[in-house]
Structure 1
Amino acid sequence: MEKTLHNILGEIRRTNAPLAPDALDRIIRARNREVAGPVRYVAKKKLLPFYQEAKEHRPEHWRTWGVSPAEEALLVRTLQVKPRRTASGVATVTVLTKPWPCSSACLYCPNDVRMPKSYLHDEPACQRAERNWFDPYLQVTARLRTLHQMGHVTDKVELIVLGGTWSDYPEAYQIWYMHELFRALNDMGCETAVERESETRRKQYRDTGIACERDDLANWAAEAQARVTAGDASYNETVRNLYACGTRADNAPLHSRSTDRNAASIDAPPCSAAADDTQGAAFEPFALDNLQGSAPNSGWAAAAQWQTATFFQLEALQRENEAAEHRCVGLVVETRPDAVTPKRLATLRRLGCTKLQMGIQSLDERILAANHRGIGVDRMQQAFELARIFGFKTHAHFMTNLLGATPESDAADYRRMVEHPAFKPDEVKLYP
């Protein structure tokens, strides 16, 4: 690795410019041919972390390389991985909230009991979140380290919080989650503090039993998928609710009761009062907004005992972040248009949010009804109006090929969303 870096630095000094990809590839391939064996000895993605490690942990040896600041800048540009990640000057960090049920019942939404509603466990951001127990602090610090090792500048960060409908989570969890996001950014200037806090946090999750519960989910998911394939559409959501409540699969009486209740809510009209009542009754006394310590065998409930923060503590971290090495320049959450209210928007502003991702999906009332969206176009228009009044940027999710749609109707629908004065979102995410 060191010899390869010296060869690259030699070429940089000769040309006084960053190397083109083909020139870098020639140097790496030439070095690999010098090393016996079938395994590739040197890979581009390993070179910059090696250089950073030498500079940080072996400074005396690194100084013998004689790398000037200008040469180092050219070396980083040469070895940077996926440069478009920060081409705008802002590093995007995506994090996920913990698995949690959704108050809606849209037809197209996938169910993966290991994830928040609408997400799948094999997506890269979801895998990172699960490896870090969906902890905001661990997710942010891990991602920023990776970006640094890839050669990206991370002084300006946009945080994207995914996990379905943000306002479905208890407010106490929302405050704590944002508190930890800002604390992670502020701590990143001190590697010792990050390491110490990360190890403490991992031990807390292991001690509460969440690691064990997480390991059970592969079996739960397999059983849930088999039950759903066999026609039991209620089972997947039941298991998700049990997981969110921190209740292990061996709690047979609650599991049976929940399955029966959830089946009743599935039979009720979507988004109806009957569906809400049966869903809520299924988890008494495990009400979703009052979980702390209430559920047996509950790792999540135990974690909720220390997952606490106040608005005062959060606001102190926000002020500190204004002068931190890693500043938050944007904070995004997901929600549904029917969850956008003045009170919730006021809370989001205080939490530090700057942009809303809203699931619009379609502006065709017929298609919305066919897909059990439970939201009308008038309510979507009101959500856009309120978001702008409160100073939020708008990011719309739009879906094509929904039940009842055609290519022609999708094109007309999309054109309406981006041209009609009531909508015109700042950004669009298209789900084909």
Structure 2
Amino acid sequence: MRRINYIDKKNIIDEIIREIQKYPSLDRVKLEEIKRKIAKKYGLGFVPRNYEIIRELRGKLRDKIKSISAKPVRSISGIVIVSVFTEPSPCPGRCIYCPGGVDNPTPSPKSYSGHEPAARRASQLNYDPYLQVTRRLDHLSRLGHPIDKVSLIVMGGTFIYLDKEYRDYFMKGVYEGILGKKFPGEGIEILQKRLEKSKIRLVELTFETRPDYCMEKHVDEMLYYGATRVEIGVQTLRDDILRFVRRGHDVETTRKAFRIARDAGLKIVAHMMPNLPPNPDVDRDYEDFLNLFEDPDFRPDMLKIYPTAVVKGTYLYRMWLRGEYKPYDEDKLIALLARVKKMLPPWVRIQRLQRDIPTYLVEAGYKSGNLRQLVLNYMKKRGWRCRCIRCREIGHKVMKEGIDTRGINPRLVRRKYKASDGIEIFLSFE
């Protein structure tokens, strides 16, 4: 692999630009082909990034490259997602599977390894909220994404557990990042007023939490900061497993958390963890997912599935080394996730099917980094279909299946279901 300096790189990018100018009908595939060809010509061990090319362009060609280089799935709904991390801090939980925390040799935000892409970006910026937001928005804009509407997720553990002074500092930085400018001396309420007229609109704000930190006083704090959604770490609906993994709360607390969040008008994202110790069982895990949607005390709006991963440094890792924990294999996990997707109601969205933890850090549990695709392939072979919102969205179908929307006459569909002692009404055009 050749080592290059700044001038070499500039010349290589200039050559790429000269080459792409020869193709009036340039598309994403051709752009990548040109980049790889020139990288190979100069013996590079990498392919220049699209944003490095875009920043050297002007006018219509710049707009063209931006439009074809953007990954459409990131902004297909017209909203870009920005994830920000709080600094590594203590947590009320002592979960045996958790890979993060301040006590690690290399401290990382709680429940994260520190090697996830968003966590690495945050660490490089010393977890500064203002820089995390502004740098991410600038990067997305350079790649051609519209950034006028932002869905922001505060990650890094149980935000509401942190002391109020830090929470206020962090959210002030988030608001200023959206505004694109710092406002010394201005507090939370004043900045929120500014956001109402901001060029970039904060249309969604999500906090991660635990069921026992989603009681009335905690939800009031979330609403104070402008929350529209809460991600609740359910993990399992079995008290014996919650006790074994030292979760620190019971299922009844989860029921209460759902009701309180829902009564406050928050959308709910449930985190579920199949393959938990002490004795992982596929059928038992499937029953958990069934109960999550059949029991009206739960029925989340969205779902993130985080299959249990054995990561070095955790108590679960030591159990695994001693032979005290044996997860079921990846084939069984894929079959389980396919069954779950098959039974989902049409009013829920699956946001994730696995963690962002790099697979080279996972000692056991699953090893593939493309579980979603493996699950979809499994379902396709059996003629199964998923009814979740993501799988039925017209934007995804046009992008992935090439569906022609001309002549389609969508109709308004109204679905009503019970949830947390109330009634939910889900409206969609189908």
Equivalent in 174, 177, 180 of residue 167 of structure 2: 174
Match of 1:391 in 2: 265
Structure 1 pair 72–149 and aligned structure 2 pair: CA distance change class (3 A): closer
Equivalent in 66, 72, 85 of residue 96 of structure 1: 85
Structure with the bigger percentage of helix: 1
* CA deviation profile, 1:190-228 (whole Å, cap 9, x unmatched): xxx68xx9xxxxxxxxxxxxxxxxxxxxxxxxxxxxxxx
Structure 1 pair 135–28 and aligned structure 2 pair: CA distance change class (3 A): closer
Alpha-carbon RMSD across the aligned residues, in angstroms, is 2.5
Question: For the residues of structure 1 that align with 2:209 and 2:124, how far apart are their CA atoms?
Answer: 24
Preserved contact between residue 95 and residue 247 of structure 2 (Cα < 8 Å)? yes
* CA deviation profile, 1:101-121 (whole Å, cap 9, x unmatched): 111222222244311222212
Equivalent in 64, 69, 75 of residue 65 of structure 2: 75
Q: Kindly name which structure, 1 or 2, has the bigger radius of gyration based on alpha carbons.
A: 1
* CA deviation profile, 1:113-163 (whole Å, cap 9, x unmatched): 311222212222221111111111111112112212222221111111112
Structure 1 pair 28–125 and aligned structure 2 pair: CA distance change class (3 A): closer
Question: For the residues of structure 1 that align with 2:220 and 2:21, how far apart are their CA atoms?
Answer: 53
Q: SS state of the match for residue 271, structure 2?
A: strand
Question: For the residues of structure 1 that align with 2:94 and 2:14, how far apart are their CA atoms?
Answer: 56
Structure 1 pair 53–181 and aligned structure 2 pair: CA distance change class (3 A): farther
Does residue 1:365 correspond to 2:239, yes or no?
yes
Preserved contact between residue 141 and residue 184 of structure 1 (Cα < 8 Å)? yes
Question: For the residues of structure 1 that align with 2:135 and 2:63, how far apart are their CA atoms?
Answer: 24
Preserved contact between residue 54 and residue 66 of structure 2 (Cα < 8 Å)? no
Provide TM-score, normalisation by structure 1.
Answer: 0.62
Q: SS state of the match for residue 332, structure 1?
A: strand
Q: SS state of the match for residue 11, structure 1?
A: coil
Match of 1:430 in 2: 305
Match of 2:294 in 1: 419
Q: SS state of the match for residue 356, structure 1?
A: strand
Preserved contact between residue 160 and residue 222 of structure 2 (Cα < 8 Å)? no
Q: Which amino acid aligns with 1:146?
A: H
| Structure 1 outlier segments of 4+, above 4 Å | 29-33
1:357 deviates by 0.8
1:3 deviates by 4.8
Once the two structures are aligned, what percentage of the paired residues are identical?
33
Question: For the residues of structure 2 that align with 1:4 and 1:119, how far apart are their CA atoms?
Answer: 38
Preserved contact between residue 84 and residue 132 of structure 2 (Cα < 8 Å)? yes
Higher relative contact order (CA 8 A, sep 6+): 1
* CA deviation profile, 1:216-272 (whole Å, cap 9, x unmatched): xxxxxxxxxxxxxxxxxxxxxxxxxxxxxxxxxxxxxxxxxxxxxxxxxxxxxxxxx
Equivalent in 397, 400, 405 of residue 280 of structure 2: 405
Structure 1 pair 383–29 and aligned structure 2 pair: CA distance change class (3 A): closer
Match of 1:185 in 2: 178
1:9 deviates by 4.2
Does residue 1:21 correspond to 2:10, yes or no?
no
1:319 deviates by 1.9
Structure with the bigger percentage of strand: 2
Question: For the residues of structure 2 that align with 1:358 and 1:6, how far apart are their CA atoms?
Answer: 51
1:93 deviates by 1.0
Provide TM-score, normalisation by structure 2.
Answer: 0.62
Preserved contact between residue 417 and residue 424 of structure 1 (Cα < 8 Å)? yes
Does residue 1:140 correspond to 2:133, yes or no?
yes
Match of 1:327 in 2: 201
Preserved contact between residue 368 and residue 374 of structure 1 (Cα < 8 Å)? yes
How many pairs were matched up?
290
Question: For the residues of structure 2 that align with 1:378 and 1:130, how far apart are their CA atoms?
Answer: 36
Structure 1 pair 151–375 and aligned structure 2 pair: CA distance change class (3 A): same
Does residue 1:150 correspond to 2:143, yes or no?
yes
Q: SS state of the match for residue 111, structure 2?
A: coil
1:5 deviates by 2.9
Q: SS state of the match for residue 255, structure 2?
A: helix
Question: For the residues of structure 2 that align with 1:384 and 1:159, how far apart are their CA atoms?
Answer: 21
